Amino acid sequence: MTEIQVNVPFVPGRGFNTSSAVLMRLDYLRKREISLPSLETHQLPLDEVRNNIESFIGSVEIPVGLVGPLLYHGEDGQDEWVHAPAATLEGALVYSMNRGAKLISKSGGFASHFHHQKMLRAPMFILENPDLAQKLSEFISSNFDAIKDVAEAYSNHGKLVEIQCEPIENYLSAYFYFVTGDAAGQNLTTTCTWHALQFIAENFDGEILDYVIEGNGASDKKISPRNIEKGRGCKVSAEVVVDDAVIEEVLRTTSDQIMRYCEPSKRIAVQHGMVGYSINAANAIAAIFAATGQDLACIHESATAFLDIERLENGLKFSLLLPNLVIGTVGGGTHLAKQSDALNLMGCKGSGKVKRFAELIAGFTLALEISTFGAIVSGEFAKSHEKLGRNKPQSWLLKSEVNLDFVNSILFAKDAPSVEFLEWQSHLYFDNGIITQLSQKVSKKLQGYYLLKVNESSNGLVLLKSRPTSDEVIKGLHLIAVSVDGQLADLLLQHRENLVFHQCHLKELAINRFLFSGGYAYAPKYYGDKIDSQREIFLLAQEYIYPQNTRLLNSEDQPHLWQSVDVIKCIDAINEFHIKTYGLDGFEDVQIPLQQPWLAGPFYQRLQEILVQTWDGDHLEVLKSLNIASLEEEFSNLKMPTCFIHNDFNPRNIMVLKNGNPVIYDWELTVRDIPQRDIMELLCFVLKEDESAKPYMRYHCKLINADWAEYQRAAKYALKSLILTRFALYEVSGIVTKYEFSKRVMGKALQLTASPETF
């Protein structure tokens, strides 16, 4: 046979993590045409990771989300609000954990019990015959104290508490159980056990043919019924009792529905040979492990879980047991800066914290178990993956396509800046709107705001806005709706063409062209746009307004900053838009529909029903008295002409410059309606708690030369419509995604509706 010799390429600096060794390895890869521009960028001090990694070349980042607050019954009997970091790339995981945390907290928090902490090393001896194996077993048992002294001499924290011996023919498996303080203890137990083995080999009166530090009996990083029974890692449990009402409010299902599926699913687990019973405990454990510097290979055994659900008279008791949670608050990767911060977030950094850490992991894992089970039995789990019947386009717009030629082709307006070069800029102060944020949950294409620098002059910045399609917006809303109520999600899809989001991507561009052509002074300057329906490109280019030139920006949560002169100027500005649009019904490429919320009446009626169930503010009776169906007759009886309205006219979409002039943007929800709709929405956002709306209403009434009594009827109709549609959507969405302004704005709208001072 011909001998084959393979020349294995030599990787320089192997085993060293010095700066020069890292550079040599990266150069080695570049010579093989392998470039890692992102991977090699890192902020890790090399001396801090020298014992955590070999042949270092860079780092990867995992996004970390905040879970909590979760109410925890602490060691001292005091209740405490706790949080956890969740490092994951799985969308909706953090949301689901937070929903479970909300349910547990509304139920009074979770109780936990720390059973024990052990770490196991299981060496194996090979002897000549079964008699010697038995003799060695007896030697170890009778000399436990001496073996313990030797083992513990090599650790400040490890305590050997037990050795269990199992002779199998001429083999002996010895199970060394340690308690390891706040360290997970795999390395500690290996060192201590190795020295104990040497002591045994030297002092045993018989021949040991061979021995190894691990005979696989420890089931290290594997699931083992023995470890579940005997212990490896932390054994911890958590439980909570949840009332039927809280289950219905948060999970949108019932206790009976959960119990209907619980026992059959347990039987299936047994039938299929599953070890333990859980829904997706591994998700929560993996997310916390990745954030806090734990041994990721231990996720497998640590995620062994036993979920139990017990029917009570008025609710359910949820219990979760984690028998093999291999964790540490010292050692491993816990000393690294970010992982240390993550542990600090949980109050679990350093010595004396492993018990708390185990209990919190159990609590947050229980939260996810309950939330996911609820999603499955309510239908949310399936509905959240429901499609809208739209085929994916062949080629979405990529950021790499936005080059000099592309930008020049869309900047065709007279005020557009000249394009000399392109530099992508950050604009952290400028949030994408709610609609874009929702659509980004269901699509990975280029959408939202992007800032480009194209020349060095004062107007050398261009703000690109890539619009999501209305189908993508509806899909984003659908994700929220299925988390709130299955019926609401179905109604959303049935009535989507009668919602204001329909054709929002076309309305945004059409309105901006219209404003530009009419010389409207209260919107960002229009520079151009691009539409490619086949590729779903709906791109607007407009002026970038520097934040230092504004006095009010993103002020939806700051009504105290709004002065009466600001409100008046905004009314003047939107009135000028209204005046330009009386008699119009659309443009060549898109119609601007009349807002008729009763056409989607079943959707809004269900929205109102959910809101009534969850509203904990004033004027509940006013909310209950409103009727979406009655709005049609009220509208038909109004003697008020319709015009185009902004229909999202609030401080999220209005900035006020330092010279006092407002700038209005985000026109994608434009519809035809009475002008009072814009005015009343603005007032609900900017009025102080006890401030009257009447002076501003009278000002607008005079501005449009309307009869005051008729104006009031129209304003009251506008408020009712706002409450049942836009504000109800904000508030009910808060079950999933809380908007800080939502309750205040809804409360103000109900107050104005009920106030004889206003009407």
Sheet holding 423-425, edge to edge: 423-425, 448-453, 461-466, 537-543, 526-532
Q: CA of 220: how far to CAs of 13, 120, 163, 186, 191, in Å?
A: 31, 8, 17, 9, 15
Strands 550-552 and 537-543: unpaired
From residue 319, alpha-carbon distances to 301, 310, 431 in Å are 19, 8, 41
Q: Answer whether residue 17 shows pLDDT above 60.
A: yes
Residue 432 has pLDDT above 60, yes or no: no
Question: What is the reported pLDDT for 672?
Answer: 98
CB burial of 92-115 (b: ≥16 within 10 Å; e: otherwise) equals: bbbbbbbbbbbbbbebebbebebe
Asked whether the predicted pLDDT for residue 447 surpasses 90, the reply is no
Nearest CA to 227 out of 236, 235, 239 is that of 235
Q: Residue 428: its pLDDT value, please?
A: 56
Of 321, 296, 262, 341, the closest CA to residue 52 belongs to: 296
pLDDT digits (tens, 9 = 90+) for 353-387: 999 999 999 999 999 999 999 989 887 776 665 54
Sequence-ordered list of residues with C-beta below 8 angstroms from that of 699, at least 6 positions apart, any chain: 568, 571
Domain with CATH 3.90.770.10 in the chain: 64-117+226-378
Nearest to residue 475, comparing CAs of 453, 459, 492?
A: 492
Residues catalogued as catalytic: 90, 295, 385
What are 650-664's pLDDT values in tens digits?
Answer: 999 999 999 999 999
What CATH code is assigned to 64-117+226-378? 3.90.770.10
pLDDT at 645: 98
What is the per-residue pLDDT for 436? Answer: 60
Give 309-320 pLDDT, tens digit per residue. Answer: 999 999 999 999
**Higher-scoring residue by pLDDT: 596, 737:** 596
Tokens standing for residue 440: 């980004």
Range(s) within the chain of domains with CATH label 3.30.70.420: 123-215
Q: How many CB atoms lie within 10 A of CB 708?
A: 11
Specify whether the CB–CB gap between 644 and 594 falls below 8 A.
no
Does residue 431 surpass a pLDDT of 90?
Answer: no
Query: What tens digit of pLDDT does each residue of 123-144 get?
Result: 999 999 999 999 999 999 999 9
AA letter at 54? E
CA–CA distance, 158 with 653 (Å, rounded to integer): 60
Condensed to tens digits (0 to 9), the pLDDT of residues 538-550 reads 999 999 999 999 9
Write the secondary structure of 440-462 as one string of H (helix), E (strand) and C (coil): CCCCCCCCEEEEEECCCCCCCEE
How confident is the model over 741-756, as pLDDT tens digits?
Answer: 999 999 999 999 999 8
Sort 645 into a burial class: Cβ within 10 Å, 0-12 / 13-18 / 19+. buried
What percent of the chain is modeled with pLDDT above 70? 95
- Cα gap 637→713, rounded to integer Å: 10
Mean pLDDT on 60-81: 90
Give the bridge partners for 165, in sequence order.
174
3-state secondary structure of 85: strand
Q: State yes or no: cis peptide before 468, omega within 30 of 0.
A: no
Q: What is the mean pLDDT of residues 199-225?
A: 93
Task: Specify the pLDDT at position 6.
Answer: 82
Residues 621-634 have a mean pLDDT of 97
Q: Give the separation between CA 179 and CA 164, rounded to whole angstroms.
A: 15
* CA–CA gap between residue 120 and residue 190 (Å, rounded): 9
What does the alpha-carbon distance between residue 649 and residue 581 come to, in Å, rounded to a whole number? 16
Sign of CA dihedral 435, 437, 443, 449: positive
Cα–Cα distance, 730 to 738 (Å, whole number): 8
H-only helix segments in 541-582: 564-581
Nearest-5° Cα angle at 697, 694 to 699? 110
For residue 681, what pLDDT is reported? 98
Position with higher pLDDT, 573 vs 441: 573
pLDDT of residue 389: 44
Q: Per-residue pLDDT tens for 555-587?
A: 999 999 999 999 999 999 999 999 999 999 999
How far is 336 from 50, CA to CA, in rounded Å?
Answer: 11
String of DSSP letters for 317-353: EEEEEEEEE---SBSTTTTSHHHHHHHHHTT--STT-
| pLDDT at residue 3 tops 80 | no
Strand duo 671-673 + 662-664: pairing: unpaired
Q: Which amino acid is at 430?
A: F
Whether the predicted pLDDT of 210 surpasses 60 = yes
In SS3 terms, 11-80 reads as CCCCCCCCHHHHHHHHHHHHHCCCCCCCCCCCCCCHHHHCCCCCCCCCCCCCCEEEEEEEEEECCCCCEE
Looking at domain 123-215, its CATH class is alpha beta
- C-alpha distances in angstroms, 517 versus 80, 514, 525, 578? 59, 5, 11, 15
Q: What's the one-letter identity of residue 270?
A: V
Residue 435, pLDDT above cutoff 70 = no
Least confident residue range of 137-141, 196-200, 377-381, 454-458: 377-381
pLDDT over threshold 80, residue 706: yes
| Angle between helices 186-203 and 144-152 in degrees, nearest 10 | 130
User: Rounded to whole angstroms, what are the CA distances from 686 to 417, 604, 748?
Assistant: 35, 25, 10
Note the residue count of the chain.
Answer: 759
Amino acid identity, position 747: G
Digit-coded pLDDT (tens) for 255-287: 999 999 999 999 998 999 899 999 999 999 999
Tell me what percent of the residues of the chain surpass a pLDDT of 90.
75
Q: Is 33 exposed, middle or buried (0-12, 13-18, 19+ CB in 10 A)?
A: exposed
Q: Which of 492, 531, 476 is nearest to 508 (CA)?
A: 531
Exposed/middle/buried for residue 432 (C-beta within 10 Å: 0-12, 13-18, 19+): middle
Q: Residue 16: which pLDDT band, with cuts at 50, 70 and 90?
A: confident
Are 671 and 647 in contact, with CB atoms under 8 Å apart?
A: yes
pTM summary value: 0.71
| Average predicted confidence (pLDDT) for the chain | 91
Rounded to an integer, the average pLDDT of 77-104 is 92
Going by pLDDT thresholds of 50, 70 and 90, the confidence category of residue 499 is: very high
CB 645 within 8 A of CB 678: yes
Mean pLDDT value of segment 23-28: 90
Q: Which of 322, 122, 115, 118 is nearest to 232 (CA)?
A: 118
The CA dihedral of 507, 509, 514, 520, to the nearest 10 degrees, is 110
Number of H helices, E strands in the chain: 28, 20
Count Cβ atoms below 10 Å from residue 72 Cβ, excluding itself. 25
pLDDT of 392 strictly over 60: no
Cα–Cα distance for residue pair 28/12, rounded to 1 Å: 7
**203 contacts: CB under 8 Å, gap ≥ 6:** 139, 143, 146
Separation of alpha carbons 73 and 54, rounded Å: 42
| Mean local confidence (pLDDT), 467-482 | 87
What is the token pair recorded at 402? 């936005």
Three-state secondary structure readout of 403-418 = CHHHHHHHCCCCCCCC
Residue matched to tokens 């019926």: 487
Supply the angle between the helices 130-142 and 186-203 in degrees, to the nearest 10. Answer: 110
